[in-house]
Amino acid sequence: MTRHQHRAADDGRATGKPRGTGANRTARHRRAALCALAVALTVPLTLGAAGDAGVAGDRTIVFARYTTAAPTEDLYAISPSGGTPGKLTHTPAVSDVMPSWSPDGKRVAFVRYGSGGAIDGIWTMTATGGDLKAVPGTKGASDPAWSPDGKRIAYAKPVGTQREIYVADIDGTPATRLTHTAGDDLHPTWSPDGTYLAFSRADAAGHSRVMKIRLSTLAQTAVTGPDSHDGTPDWSHGNRIAFSRVDASGFAHLYLVRPDGTGLHRITSDRFNDKNPSWSPDGRRLVFTRGGTDDADPEHLYLVRADGTALTQLTKTASHDLEADWRP
């Protein structure tokens, strides 16, 4: 399963989007990639004037963007107060996606892939797009999440027909497989003290739920119910987990829950698909993606307070803005 097939499956479970939409987008990406891959592999990561402006502020939000004119993703950065996003990567035939800040805010882990898996796996770079480094042993991996101490990285990786959760040192070794189930495990996120990971698990019946695993014992506990459609969890420093749930309306909304499964409540309710929440460093706000019923529907970044108030649109161009992560 390719990385874009991963997200197509995720979109079908966690946003109500037809799976064919993601698959069609994958095919378009690959056709574009085949035309220019050799050139793209020689393009360095640089910042232009817009990029310099976009990352100048503190607590910036990094995210992946693609448009119909540029169907492969690059990474961008934007201030929570708005403005023009700065482009961090410039790879016209290679997709850079799923960014994750290091806890000191100095580096970003992300997934990079090209046509036919030519370059595929987790990489890291500086906050301005330089010093690119591959993480060994992560071919086919997705959903990188940096540990609170900055020494390890968690990710999802294919094992047969499903994905399992792994943890490795930031240099890729040793890689330890944490989950061994028939479910599809993805989107790991660390507890503030680094003792647990939360993640989403999808079953053969098409349901998905938020789980947590204790790293010292590998004991697993369900956080949300078995008949849900839950995905893309993010664990805050205030010890709350935000996630996206497709509810009876057929739309995906954002919810909060305590790690023990109590205190569940919804924080967005409009007739849109809301997914990929990421907490602000102070735990008061979330950035997330809204939209995306099909490829003709732009996906924008929004901000919202944890109590569901002060909803604000952050990006506004005709693009698909995805997988945002708020700088610590």
- Split at pLDDT 50, 70, 90, the class of 45 is very low
**The domain 3-326 is classified under which CATH number: 1.10.275.10, 3.40.50.720, 2.120.10.30, 3.20.20.140?**
2.120.10.30
Report pLDDT digits (tens) over 271-315. 899 999 999 999 999 999 999 666 678 999 999 999 999 999 999
Report pLDDT digits (tens) over 48-84. 333 333 333 468 999 999 988 888 899 999 999 999 9
Residue whose structure tokens are 């660390």 = 190
Q: Which residues contact 169 (CB under 8 A, 6 or more apart)?
A: 151, 152, 153
- Mean of pLDDT values over 311-328: 95
Res 118: pLDDT: 58
**Cα three-residue angle 104-107-109, rounded to 5 degrees:** 120
Res 56: pLDDT: 34
Report pLDDT digits (tens) over 287-298. 999 996 666 789
Between CA 194 and CA 189 the distance in angstroms is 10
- Mean of pLDDT values over 235-253: 93
Res 295: pLDDT: 64
User: Which segments of 120-195 are extended strands (E)?
Assistant: 121-126, 133-134, 142-146, 152-159, 162-169, 176-177, 184-190
Which candidate, 164, 126, 171, places its Cα nearest to that of 143?
164
pLDDT for residue 15 is more than 80: no
3-state secondary structure 112-138: EECHHHCCCEEEEEECCCCCCEECCCC
Q: Which residues contact 6 (CB under 8 A, 6 or more apart)?
A: 142, 156, 163, 186
- List C-alpha distances in Å: 319 to 66, 73, 128, 163: 6, 10, 22, 29
Work out the mean pLDDT of the chain and round it to a whole number: 83
Ranking 16-30, 158-172, 182-196, 237-251 by mean pLDDT, the lowest is 16-30
Domain residue ranges of the chain, discontinuous segments joined by +: 3-326
Percent of the chain surpassing pLDDT 90: 69
pLDDT for residue 1 is more than 70: no
Residue whose structure tokens are 């690959």 = 30
Q: What are phi and psi of 208, to 5 degrees?
A: -145, 150
Res 44: pLDDT: 33
pLDDT for residue 233 is more than 80: yes
pLDDT for residue 93 is more than 70: yes
Report pLDDT digits (tens) over 116-160. 655 689 999 999 999 999 999 999 999 999 999 999 999 999 999
How many CA atoms, within 13 angstroms, populate the side-chain half-sphere of residue 227? Answer: 1
Ranking 24-38, 104-118, 138-152 by mean pLDDT, the lowest is 24-38
Q: Is 55 exposed, middle or buried (0-12, 13-18, 19+ CB in 10 A)?
A: buried
Residue whose structure tokens are 């002060």 = 310
Res 31: pLDDT: 30
Instruction: Give 226 or 115, the one with higher predicted confidence.
Output: 226
- Mean of pLDDT values over 250-256: 95
Between CA 276 and CA 233 the distance in angstroms is 7
Res 69: pLDDT: 83
